[in-house]
Amino acid sequence: MSAARTIYLLLVVAILAFLVAPLVVIVWASFFSDKILSFPPGGYTLDWYARAWQQPDFVAGFLMSIKIALCAMAGSLLLGVPASLAIERFRFPGRESVRQLLLAPMYVPAIVAGAAVYLYYIQFEISTEVQLAATFPGLLLAHTLVALPWTMRLICASLATTTGIAEEAAQSLGANALQTFFYVTLPIIRPGLIAAALFSFIASFSELEESLFLVGPGKTTLPIAIVNYLEWNLDSTIAAVATVQILIIGTALLVSDRYVNLGKAF
Amino acid sequence: MSGVTLKRLNKTFGELPAVDGVSIDIREGELIALLGPSGCGKTTTLRMVAGFVEPSSGSVHFGERDVTRVPVHHRNVGMVFQGYALFPHLSVAKNIEFGLKVRRWDRTRVQKRVDEMLEWVQLGRFSERRPRDLSGGQQQRVAVARAMAIHPDVLLLDEPFSALDAKLRLQMRSEIRELQREAGITSVFVTHDQEEAMAIADRIGVMNHGKLEQLGSAQDLYLRPASRFVAGFIGKCNVLEGRIAGTRQFETKSGQQLQYSNEHAAGSGALCFRPEHGELVRAARADANNISVTLKAVTYLGADTEYELVADNGERLLVMAASSSVAGAAFKAGERLVLSWRSQDSFVVD
């Protein structure tokens, strides 16, 4: 093995360790038995998981996050699939601008976007008397916006792998637009669709910054519940909750990797 | 089953005319090839017949039925796409039954038709395979079976052989031709390969710059090309620039008098003849066109030998002769000779 290769390998291992170490520490810490997080641990226990589950804030936050992530996933697919189809299959003026616009939420810092959405909701409420800030629909809209670019990226990428000629074949065989979509387009982009669903779920489930502006009292999401808890406590409950979160997101990532080559979509 | 009529079809994309006044009367059961270089409008014409492109003006008729405004999925066309466009997620049988399912045929009828088609293209034992597990030729046969299963009024083929290697292309060419004859279906076939067009089409429409330059049998096109483009596109051709000087009289730019055989309006033009109609001799022949040339190169091509010539005014000419003919053997590069050919093999084009 050459020296260059050794250095390269060491670098890769170092970067990987740097990325994974915090996760390992969190998972490890969730089993510490000490009342206050300390190192080295005095012993090990599963108590923290039980305790986390007894905290109403975490349970409510967890359920809220799941609910909002599922809704945001559905919303981003309902908007993202037709939008991707239009962008990938048709030529119209401003096509590239529309694409960039729909991908934009990915590039705007979430805290900025959160403030912007909040201000917009307030203005909206002043002029229409419809309250969006601190409501579930308001939060859902914002989360859909966060999830949408992920759906767009993945669906566009899987549409781009076929040229639309299979759809033309379906039409020539007598299929109308709906039949073509459901019998041909949808099955062809199915892997991308599954990945898009999982990614928009993850994007919403782990969203913190925008939600900070938009949640109502007693209706927080899990990441916010974690932040709130951290302000006053430093025990392993948080590690246990985070471990559960890591498990859910990790599983979703592993599953979507089975369906699409994620490297290709980004 | 019906004939297909294209009436003064026009298509402009923005300012650009892609197809310009194309009229073709395709007889029932006939196989027409649209031939031309890329960008000549042949594919756009085919796509207007299929219904994927709406003509800017003109009309498309299947038999008596005007289908110009009929959307693709109501047109009842069978189309074989470049690269086949098989449904990757469906088995061979499911690909073939697709058109029947959307037509809501009952199950026993669908099954019967699929079996029929599978047998027709000899893919019975591959019915459960996915397209990606088939060879190129087999995929092509599935594409044809899928297109024909729906009893289309017309079969459209868009460069169907371009994805195949040379050897398979020859085989599939005759297979498709046989299948088409057997089914007796009116067909339009797009290609840029003149040999392919000549091999399988009843008539060939040569297109250039959106216009139909000439429509005729392979022989018509080869022996009586209507334009310089057709003369040059179908086979090799010698071209001498000049003008019409009188009845069947042509004067080259350097003032040489030649005779030709076709009808042509007065004015400038080019006299053409095929390389195999020319003969190299040492002395001018009576009752023939003669010009003096210098032999530049001799290329032995097996059955034929090709002679590259330069006329006194610098025009390049070509003669093709059977290698077995004794006469050619004696000529050497650099020799001054006379190129002689019969006036009935000469034709004048614009």
Contact state of B83 with A165 under an 8 Å Cβ cutoff = yes
Phi, psi of B295 (to 5 degrees): -80, 120
**What pLDDT score was predicted for residue B211?**
93
Contact state of A174 with B147 under an 8 Å Cβ cutoff = no
ipTM above 0.85, yes or no: no
Per-residue pLDDT of chain B (350 residues; tens, 9 = 90+): 689 999 999 999 888 889 999 999 999 999 999 999 988 999 999 999 999 999 999 999 999 999 999 999 999 999 999 888 999 999 999 999 999 999 999 999 999 999 999 998 888 899 999 999 999 889 999 999 999 999 999 999 999 888 788 888 888 888 888 889 988 999 999 999 998 999 899 999 999 999 999 999 999 899 888 888 999 888 889 999 888 888 888 888 888 888 888 887 778 888 999 999 998 888 888 888 999 999 999 888 888 888 999 988 888 999 998 887 766 567 888 889 999 999 889 988 88
User: Which chain A residues are closer than 8 Å to B43 by Cβ?
Assistant: none
Least Cα distance to B308 among B292, B320, B326 occurs for B320
Structural domains of chain B, ranges and CATH numbers in brackets: 4-223 (3.40.50.300), 236-349 (2.40.50.140)
Q: What is the pLDDT of residues A100-125, one digit of tens each?
A: 999 988 888 889 989 999 999 999 99
User: Which chain A residues are closer than 8 Å to B147 by Cβ?
Assistant: 172-173
Query: Is residue A123 a part of any domain in this protein?
Result: yes
Rounded CA separation B208/B199 (Å): 20
Count Cβ atoms within 10 A of the Cβ of residue B25 and give its class: 0-12 exposed, 13-18 middle, 19 or more buried: middle
Least Cα distance to A199 among A244, A136, A138, A157 occurs for A157
Query: Is residue A181 a part of any domain in this protein?
Result: yes
> Quick check: A228 pLDDT over 90?
no
Beta carbons of B196 and B173 less than 8 angstroms apart? yes
Option in B71, B87, B103 nearest A184 (CB): B87
Give the DSSP letter of residue B197. Answer: H
Q: Where are the alpha helices (DSSP H) in chain B?
A: 42-50, 92-102, 107-120, 136-149, 166-183, 194-200, 218-223, 228-233, 326-329
| Chain A closest-CA separation from residue B198 CA (Å) | 27
Query: Is residue A149 a part of any domain in this protein?
Result: yes
User: Which chain A residues are closer than 8 Å to B156 by Cβ?
Assistant: 172
B79 touches chain A (CB under 8 A): yes
User: Which chain A residues are closer than 8 Å to B81 by Cβ?
Assistant: 165, 168-169
B77 touches chain A (CB under 8 A): yes
Rounded CA separation A45/A236 (Å): 10
> Quick check: A222 pLDDT over 70?
yes
> Quick check: A24 pLDDT over 70?
yes
**What pLDDT score was predicted for residue A266?**
56
Contact state of A187 with B89 under an 8 Å Cβ cutoff = yes
Q: How far is CA B330 from CA B18, B42, B285, in A?
A: 51, 46, 19
Option in B51, B73, B82 nearest A175 (CB): B73
Number of domains in chain A: 1
Q: What is the pLDDT of residues A36-58, one digit of tens each?
A: 777 788 888 888 888 888 888 88
In this prediction the pTM is: 0.78
Question: Which residues in chain A (146-185) have CB-CB distances under 8 A to chain B?
Answer: 165-166, 168-176, 179, 183-184
| Chain B closest-CA separation from residue A174 CA (Å) | 4
Query: Is residue A215 a part of any domain in this protein?
Result: yes
Query: Is residue A228 a part of any domain in this protein?
Result: yes
Query: Is residue A37 a part of any domain in this protein?
Result: no
User: Which chain B residues are closer than 8 Å to A175 by Cβ?
Assistant: 73, 98-99, 102
3-state secondary structure of B238: strand
- B235's torsion region: left (phi>0), alpha (psi -120 to 50) or beta? left
Contact state of A173 with B102 under an 8 Å Cβ cutoff = yes
Contact state of A183 with B98 under an 8 Å Cβ cutoff = yes
User: Which chain B residues are closer than 8 Å to A190 by Cβ?
Assistant: 89
Query: Is residue A174 a part of any domain in this protein?
Result: yes
**What pLDDT score was predicted for residue A1?**
63
Q: How far is CA B42 from CA A263, B38, B166, B199, B210, in A?
A: 39, 8, 22, 18, 8
**Nearest residue on chain B to A184, alpha-carbon basis:** B87
**What pLDDT score was predicted for residue A238?**
86
Query: Is residue A129 a part of any domain in this protein?
Result: yes
**Nearest residue on chain B to A189, alpha-carbon basis:** B89
B150 touches chain A (CB under 8 A): yes
Rounded CA separation B79/B315 (Å): 45
Least Cα distance to B218 among B207, B205, B237, B208 occurs for B205
Contact state of A172 with B50 under an 8 Å Cβ cutoff = yes
Mean pLDDT of chain A: 88
Rounded CA separation B191/B45 (Å): 12
3-state secondary structure of B181: helix
Rounded CA separation B227/B221 (Å): 10
B81 touches chain A (CB under 8 A): yes
**Nearest residue on chain A to B151, alpha-carbon basis:** A173
**Nearest residue on chain A to B83, alpha-carbon basis:** A165
Contact state of B99 with A173 under an 8 Å Cβ cutoff = yes
Token digits for B94?
Answer: 């499911």
| Chain B closest-CA separation from residue A156 CA (Å) | 18
Q: Say how many CB pairs under 8 Å bridge A and B.
A: 67
Contact state of A170 with B87 under an 8 Å Cβ cutoff = yes
CATH no. for residue A227?
Answer: 1.10.3720.10
**What pLDDT score was predicted for residue B327?**
60
Choice between A261 and B21, residue whose per-residue pLDDT is larger: B21
Q: What is the 3-state secondary structure (H, E, C) of chain A?
A: CCHHHHHHHHHHHHHHHHHHHHHHHHHHHCCECCCCCCCCCCCECCHHHHHHHHCHHHHHHHHHHHHHHHHHHHHHHHHHHHHHHHHHHCCCCCHHHHHHHHHHHHCCCHHHHHHHHHHHHHHHHHHHCCCCCCCHHHHHHHHHHHHHHHHHHHHHHHHHCCCCHHHHHHHHCCCCHHHHHHHHHHHHHHHHHHHHHHHHHHHHHCCCHHHHHHCCCCCCCHHHHHHHHHHHCCCCHHHHHHHHHHHHHHHHHHHHHHHCCHHHHC
- % of chain A surpassing 70 pLDDT: 97
Choice between B209 and A218, residue whose per-residue pLDDT is larger: B209
User: Which chain A residues are closer than 8 Å to B51 by Cβ?
Assistant: 172
Rounded CA separation B36/B125 (Å): 38
Q: Exposure pattern of A237-263 as b/e (b: 16+ CB <10 Å)?
A: bbbbbbbbbeebeeebeeebeebbeee
| Chain B closest-CA separation from residue A176 CA (Å) | 6
Q: Domain range holding A122?
A: 55-265
User: Which chain A residues are closer than 8 Å to B77 by Cβ?
Assistant: 172
Mean pLDDT score, A210-217: 84
**Nearest residue on chain B to A171, alpha-carbon basis:** B73
